[in-house]
Structure 1
Amino acid sequence: MPKPGRTRAEACRPTPGAPQPMSEMDAPPKSRTAYVLDRLKADLQQGVINPGDQLRQTAIAKRYGVSPTPVREALRILAADGTIEYTSHRGATVRDFTPEMAQDLYRMRAELEGLACEVAAERMTDEGYAAIVAANDRLVRATAEGTEPATLSLLNKDLHFTIYESTSSVMIEGIQLLWARFKPSVTLWGVTEFSRALDHDHDAILEALGRRDGPAARAAMHAHVMHAWELRQTSEELRATGPVSGDAPGSAAS
């Protein structure tokens, strides 16, 4: 009920300086762009949008409930990081990987993750190493129990990034960008022989880390990543549905 001396209209007016609810469309343009970017990344990650798909601004705007402006800005950001490309006859499309690009991705991962493993060996604490061992134990146990590939893939990712926690944010972010190029449904962990081979690789990495032997840890991680590439080449299905552009943290890399 309005206070004495105030009309009902005055009573309904917002109190000056009081926080007011904000709808998605009331958010500043930067927030709307970030929202669209996150949605696009999630759709790429989950396979809703796939390599070669056209990205029409009006359709995306309608699906996400925004105007075309933040969609245009989000697509510009994805084009800048190589996730999508523009052509005169098709407009914006999700970039597809060639076999050469896929191999280059693995080689980049091998170099960067090998370096990260060496740095981790130099900097990690006893507690950090214990966390790595625990993450590896969870993966080995799940593999032995025949756990579904998607879960094994996530446990594998957890192991890798538990190692990298002993490095720096800039190194972790660089590795995340490379992992994000893999679709969650595309994983080596669905093949029993492959998962056992990768678990064996992890043992060599942990042994080197346990000795705090940086060069050996680097070599073991480099060999592990390239081993994953070699295993992928033995499977026609994995070769055909390999890495995919995207910028959300992926879980299928090995």
Structure 2
Amino acid sequence: MSESDAPPKSRTAYVLDRLKADLQQGVINPGDQLRQTAIAKRYGVSPTPVREALRILAADGTIEYTSHRGATVRDFTPEMARDLYRMRAELEGLACEVAVERMTDERYAAVLAANERLVRATADGVEPATLSLLNKDLHFSIYESTSSVMIEGLQLLWARFKPSVTLWGVTEFSQALDHDHAGILDALARRDGPAARAAMHAHIMHAWELRQTSKELRATGPTSTNESDSEAS
């Protein structure tokens, strides 16, 4: 795509959207170096909107600048990553309890459908990156019954930590996480807010515990420093 063919929004906004999508989908991972010229070529724009988009991401903490590497996707320490999981567990547990208070039968049906898509994809051996996205879809299908301010806070937490190696790439872990989801959905079906909160909290901390089982899963970013070499998580 050439710069003249870019969508009719500001080119900076276009680049920002593309970068966020690549981060979300695991095309770009924690620790990756972001070269302006390479990004400009890939997105079909000049370096100027790329530079502006990177400044925005630096301001919200997604990327950082260092003298020897330039712009890189922020790579969290194990302690920082654990803190984010703990924050997610608390806030997502609360979101589940709030969702129970407000969830309609229609919204619950949408949650069941999202879970069915994930379970089916897991059984079919779909690629881990897709399973990871379906997992997020399931979580946020629950949170749709809360409020925009709660959803925005949760989106920020999810955006701040994107491991380069996903738990959904390990079959037994995928099955364990699906089992956790079943417990959450059972609490939602019973309209038991405290139980839904406890189940979600336990699920997220379970995911953290699973991540500690191997050095590869504990890693917060790949060893590659070349942005073009990164793979989907």
Same fold (TM over 0.5): yes
Are 1:114 and 2:76 counterparts? no
| Residue 162 (structure 2) aligned to one of 146, 160, 182 | 182
Kept in 2, the 8 Å contact 1:122–1:214? The answer is yes
Q: Structure 1 regions of 5+ residues with no counterpart?
A: 1-21, 244-250
The separation in 2 between residues aligned to 1:40 and 1:144, in whole angstroms, is: 31
Counting only pairs closer than 5 Å after superposition, residues 22-101 of structure 1 correspond to structure 2 as 23=4, 31-101=10-80
Closer, same or farther in 2 for the Cα pair 1:162/1:72, shift >3 Å?
Answer: same
Inter-CA distance 32–187: structure 2 relative to 1 (3 Å threshold): same
8 A contact 2:40–2:50 mirrored in 1: yes
How far, CA to CA, are the matches of 2:100 and 2:21 in structure 1? 33
Cα root mean square deviation, aligned: 2.9
Residue type at the aligned position of 2:171: T
Give the equivalent residue in structure 1 for 2:83.
Answer: 104
- In structure 2, relative to structure 1, the CA distance for the partners of 1:25 and 1:119 (3 Å cut) is closer
1:48 deviates by 4.7
The alpha-carbon deviation at position 39 of structure 1 amounts to: 2.8
Secondary structure of 1:52's counterpart equals coil
- Residue correspondence of structure 1 range 165-244 to structure 2 within 5 A: 165-180=144-159, 181-182=161-162, 186-241=165-220
Q: Which residue of 2 aligns with 1:164?
A: 143
Counting aligned pairs with the same residue, the percent is: 88
Paired letter, 2:162: F
Give the count of matched residue pairs: 221
Q: Return the alpha-carbon distance in structure 2 between the equivalents of residues 138 and 49 of structure 1.
A: 25
Displacement of 1:170 after TM fit? 2.2
The residue number in structure 1 matching 2:132 is 153
Deviations 1:31-69 (A, max 9, x none): 111122123333434555443344344554455443443
Report deviation, 1:177.
2.6
Q: Distance in 1 between matches of 2:53 and 2:88?
A: 26
Contact 2:78 2:220 in 1 (8 A): no
1:156 Cα deviation from its structure 2 partner: 2.1
Q: Unaligned 5+ residue runs, structure 2?
A: 223-231
Tell me which moved more, 86-95 or 163-172: 86-95
In 2, distance between residues paired with 1:128 and 1:238?
Answer: 33
Deviation, structure 1 residue 81: 1.1
Question: Which residue identity is paired with 1:214?
Answer: G
Name the aligned partner's letter for residue 94 of structure 1: V
**Change beyond 3 A, Cα 1:94–1:159:** closer
Structure 1 distance, partners of 2:148, 2:14, is 23
Question: For 1:119-158, what aligned pairs fall within 5 Å after superposition?
Answer: 119-158=98-137
Distance 1:224 1:61, change over 3 A: same
Give the deviation of 1:83 after TM superposition: 1.2
**2:29–2:162 CA contact under 8 A, matched in 1:** no
Deviation at 1:228, TM superposition (A): 0.4
SS of alignment partner, residue 103 of structure 1: helix
Q: In structure 2, the residue corresponding to 1:93 is in which secondary structure? A: strand
SS at match of 2:10: helix
Amino acid at match of 2:96: C
TM-score with structure 1 setting the length:
0.74
Measured at CA, do residues 23 and 102 of structure 1 come closer, stay the same or move farther in structure 2, by a change above 3 Å? Answer: same
